[in-house]
Structure 1
């Protein structure tokens, strides 16, 4: 190996280019615009489980979606794996393409609920889409939210 080749190889290793043919590999696939199995979500209420999830650094993951399609959107009920427990939640924000009359969020947000569909927290820290006002089964969640978009 010549001196020039050794120098180039050492520079490639330090720059992270040391792969096949000395090029970087990156994905060109489009991001998912929906929430599926094992998607990460942020808990946005002030429940104890939600606070522990934020401080531990391990986000909640979707284990099951309670609809026929298996794809969750805003207002859908999901089962979450959080702090080695299974908890139900309602999706209140989703990274997705801009749809008419539905706001686009920067993160995937969820509010934790118990078996009777009452929220575990007493306050929601992010704005809630006003599209959810049409769903009467989410009235308890809308009652504890302070901001709507």
Structure 2
């Protein structure tokens, strides 16, 4: 069993992109008292559209996983190594969904599963998921998250 988050990431065959820039006037993250608050991120490539209309639950799951990779890129950029993450604390997902779409929780599993794959038990977290009538740039989902981190 791999202990290092960096080793787990490599074993998954994931190469992190450069951390994306904020879409407006805010910062990618703020660290306060050992907690890192990561601003809302969406999937790479800026897909547009609603779950339940343009995209299926399975496609949404992949978007959530891609969003997790975006968040991991921010963590690595800020901390130097994912091994400085002590715990994933809280994840909140906003799913751009048709009013009849009833599976936002299954979509956000893509993010949660990635956190568990990378951090093991430290990736287990509290979570909220909400359906939204619209999101910035019509992204299919946005996730914000909180991590307990070791500060250098």
What TM-score do you get using the length of structure 1 for normalisation? 0.21
Higher strand share: 2
Normalized per residue, the structure richer in helix is 2
Between 1 and 2, higher relative CO (CA 8 Å, sep ≥ 6) is seen in: 2
Structure of larger gyration radius: 1
